[in-house]
Structure 1
Amino acid sequence: MRIAVIADIHGNDLALEAVLADIDRRGIREIVNLGDHLSGALNAGRTADILLSRADIACIAGNHDRWLLEKQPDAMGSWDRRAHAQLAAHHLDWLTQLPPTRLVAGSVFLCHGTPAADTTYWLDEPSGEGVMQLSPVERIEALAGGIDHPVLLCGHTHIARAVRLRDGRLVVNPGSVGSPAYDDDEPVPHKVETGTPHARYAVIERHGDRWDATFHLVDYDHMAMARLAESRGELDWARALATGWLS
């Protein structure tokens, strides 16, 4: 069994199209999507239309999807406010139907941040210097407590990572389809920079009783998206999309 894993599209419709084409080219029929589909400086409405046209993709909600529903536009952050202005009622109705967690294939657990919280980083965390680093295995295992499935999938950090827990469970973050770099103030000021502008996804595959993961970087017209962000005055987005770095 092979399952393609995508996450953190953030309204990047061109990156999403490229990733889905690459998945289809590989003949992978099952796709899961770990949330944060629409919020950002790009094309939220068209991204939503693509996802709504693919009923075969098992989706859950991320923190930005939740904020699009819970907050009024004047209380939203810039990513959510720009996306919300592009969304029609049927797009928001679709978001209301997405669960925060989900089980697929009987043994693969989906969440956005951690099983308990969609805003908590799991496999990576910021250091005191604001640099993202691999979390200690003790912390990763503590956050996996009570979830006894062999594969646990998460997004949120935008960093592709796989960690094998000491009991054999596999935790996988596929990286971000559409947002290769960003900064944030929570839980401390920090940057996430992947270093290239590629769209990212993962494939998990079962071999007998063991699951493994591979990571894929996909070329697409990232400069078109960088120019779009720049035309909207979103210079951090433009740099991130062009290079995978913020500076």
Structure 2
Amino acid sequence: MTHLTPHRVAVIADIHGNADALSAVLADVDAHNVDLILNLGDHFSGPLATAETMALIRAREMLCLRGNHDRWMTEQAPDDMGPSDRTAFSELGVADLDWLQALPATIGVGDDIFACHATPEDDLTYWMHSVQPTGEVAGRPVAEVTRLAGTRAERILLCGHTHLPGEARLPDGRRVLNPGSVGLPAYDDEEPVFHVVEAGTPDARYLLLTRSDQGWRADWRSLPYDVSRMAALARRRGRPDWAHALETGRMPRRGAHISS
């Protein structure tokens, strides 16, 4: 936990090796006099630019935590990994993996902010959404979002994981906020049933929090950038599903899906 509460915080999440999206976000962050960059995890998994992304992250002062893909890349043997994790793993050195393994699962900033990848208790549960038996991704009832928040005292509760920007305000005034994904605007998953998550645009996204006497102002930033290099890299690596997601913010028809 960091004990000082900053005035302005940039919250980023789910980069997934997209160095060009991350560069666009960092350039925008630099234009807003940010005191702290808070990174909610899933840094590298994917067929994109793992080494470049690592270099960009390590060159900056930011607080980083561990996402589920970061955890899998340090806990599993390569043969047991999904293709996206395995590709990223192959581009990381021993020191990189040691850095990834040492990341905390949660981070506190001052008395106001708590950050996790998915929920305070685990890195896989969708906090503000749930997957229905039909595969529809729907907003959770506020009572369930509140239950997942537990007894945390912080007023600002940050999560990533779903890649969907948004906010849920709890009855007691606490706020759960998701910055959206820096680098992967759409994906699908087979668990708990097949479902698709789509931001609907190819933009890089992050959240800018500014503290005032009235509380924290939340500004979701949506940044167009040139996706062509990352999309071409995905296609060269045999991942046209990723290329389609990067170019459109939507998934192709089922049959060529993003494997986790």
Alignment partner, residue 127 of structure 2: 122
Query: What is the SS of the residue equivalent to 1:99?
Result: coil
Amino acid at match of 1:46: E
- Contact 1:150–1:211 (CA under 8 A) maintained in structure 2: no
Q: Name the counterpart of 1:156.
A: 161
Aligned to 1:142: 147
- Residue aligning to 2:40: 34
- For 1:196-207, list aligned pairs within 5 A: 196-207=201-212
Q: State the partner residue of 2:72.
A: 67
Q: Which residue of 2 aligns with 1:6?
A: 12
Q: TM-score, normalised by structure 1?
A: 0.97
Structure 2 unaligned residues grouped into runs of 5+: 1-6, 253-260
Query: Residue 14 of structure 2 aligns to a residue in which SS?
Result: coil
Is the 1:162–1:213 contact (alpha carbons within 8 Å) kept by the matching residues of 2? no
| 1:237 equivalenced with 2:242 (yes/no) | yes
Instruction: After TM superposition, give the deviation of residue 126 of structure 1 in Å.
Output: 2.0
Deviation at 1:209, TM superposition (A): 5.4
Counting only pairs closer than 5 Å after superposition, residues 55-134 of structure 1 correspond to structure 2 as 56-134=61-139
Equivalent residue, structure 2, for 1:216: 221
Find the aligned partners of 1:208 and 1:188 in 2 and give their Cα distance.
44
SS of the aligned residue for 1:205 comes to: strand
Instruction: Measure, in 2, the Cα distance between the counterparts of 1:209 and 1:108.
Output: 16
What is residue 49 of structure 1 aligned with on the other side? 55
Quote the offset at 1:127 in angstroms. Answer: 2.7
What residue in structure 1 maps to residue 4 of structure 2? none
- The answer to whether the Cα contact below 8 Å between 1:32 and 1:58 also exists between their aligned partners in 2 is yes
Amino acid at match of 1:157: T
Contact 1:170 1:211 in 2 (8 A): no
- Asked if the contact 1:130/1:189 (under 8 Å) is kept, the reply is yes
- Identity, in percent, stands at 50
Are the aligned partners of 1:200 and 1:217 in contact in 2 as well (CA < 8 Å)? yes
Contact 2:8 2:33 in 1 (8 A): no
Find the partner of 2:178 among 163, 173, 178: 173
Q: Partner of 1:17 in structure 2?
A: 23
Amino acid at match of 1:125: S
CA–CA distance in 1 between the matches of 2:129 and 2:172? 20
> 1:212 offset after TM fit, Å?
3.0
1:213 alignment partner, SS class: strand
Structure 1 residue 208: Cα displacement: 2.1
Preserved contact between residue 47 and residue 87 of structure 2 (Cα < 8 Å): yes
Give the deviation of 1:139 after TM superposition: 0.7
